[in-house]
């Protein structure tokens, strides 16, 4: 299993540009998440999904959109990039197997908005 | 609103000593807690978890203690090694779709 993969690893955007952060998992997990992590801080939940076709807002959803057309993919869309969206973005998927309930994180996408 | 916070932002220990990282949570409805380790430039890595119907759970060199009375969670690392140097996050889940809320983190530094 490749686990959770994210692309790109790094990206620089100009203010007002848009982009999609890709996330794919091959573990057949129903739950998927997007977090952002600012320097020296914890992770803030942006959006999450409990299955294909179902998404919901997290703690900091403004400025972002998501879709979940398949179990494997959970892309995050930034429509009008702002400097405040400079951060490291982590995607995660969740296993709820009996005895363990944990999340597997991708390697992250480092985004800078100038 | 609900939040998970940590008492200490940094912790420095001598190699071989035991480390204790503390965490306070505010949502009494939380029923699942996880400790993560995050090394520089990487995503969080699962260490150990505990459900709200337990007080203690042990793993390999790690132990998590849960005190629901005072809403406190701790991670104990035995015989701390240089490879344990990282930022440690506690997180809580209250099962409204499995929303996982993270605390700010504690940076553990292990001195040789």
Does the pLDDT value for residue A1 go beyond 70?
A: no
B105 Cβ under 8 Å from any chain A Cβ: yes
Identify the pLDDT of residue A6. 97
Cβ proximity of A96 and B95 under 8 Å? no
Task: Give backbone dihedrals phi and psi of A23, rounded to 5 degrees, phi first.
Answer: -145, 130
Strand partners of residue A19: A78
Do A94 and B98 count as a contact with CB atoms less than 8 A apart? Answer: yes
CA of B71 to nearest chain A CA: how many angstroms apart?
19
Max distance between CA atoms of chain B, in angstroms, equals 44
Does the pLDDT value for residue A2 go beyond 80?
A: no
Does the pLDDT value for residue A81 go beyond 70?
A: yes
Enumerate residues 6+ apart whose C-beta is below 8 A from B98.
A31, A48, A50, A94, A96
Cβ proximity of A21 and A75 under 8 Å? yes
Do B101 and A56 count as a contact with CB atoms less than 8 A apart? Answer: no
| Cis bond upstream, residue A104 (ω within 30) | no
Integer Cα distance of A98 and A7 in angstroms: 31
Identify the pLDDT of residue B31. 87
pLDDT tens digits for range B71-101: 999 999 999 999 999 999 999 887 656 778 8
Identify the pLDDT of residue A40. 78
Integer Cα distance of B24 and B13 in angstroms: 21
Kind of pairing between the strands at B99-102 and A4-7: unpaired
Integer Cα distance of A75 and A65 in angstroms: 9
pLDDT tens digits for range A42-68: 899 999 998 999 999 998 999 999 999
Do B104 and A56 count as a contact with CB atoms less than 8 A apart? Answer: no
Place of tokens 């001195």: B111
């Amino acid at each position: 299993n490749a686990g959770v993969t994210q692309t790109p690893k790094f990206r620089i955007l100009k203010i007002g540009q848009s982009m999609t952060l890709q996330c794919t998992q091959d573990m057949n997990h129903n739950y998927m998440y997007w977090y952002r992590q600012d320097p020296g801080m914890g992770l803030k939940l942006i959006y999450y999904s409990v299955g294909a076709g179902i998404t919901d807002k997290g703690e900091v959803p403004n400025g972002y959109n998501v879709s979940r057309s398949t179990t494997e993919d959970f892309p995050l869309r930034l429509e009008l990039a702002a400097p405040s969206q400079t951060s490291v973005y982590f995607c995660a998927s969740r296993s709820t197997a009996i005895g363990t309930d944990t999340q597997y994180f991708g390697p992250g996408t480092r985004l800078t908005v100038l | 609103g609900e939040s998970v916070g940590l008492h200490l932002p940094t912790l420095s220990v001598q190699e071989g000593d035991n480390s204790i990282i503390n965490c306070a949570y505010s949502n009494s409805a939380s029923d699942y807690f996880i400790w993560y380790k995050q090394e520089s430039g990487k995503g969080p890595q699962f260490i150990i978890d505990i459900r709200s119907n337990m007080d203690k759970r042990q793993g390999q060199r790690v132990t998590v203690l849960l005190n629901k009375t005072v809403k406190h969670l701790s991670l104990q690392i035995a015989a701390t090694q240089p490879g344990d140097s990282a930022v440690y996050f506690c997180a809580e889940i209250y099962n409204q779709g499995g929303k996982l809320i993270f605390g700010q983190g504690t940076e553990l530094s292990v001195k040789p």
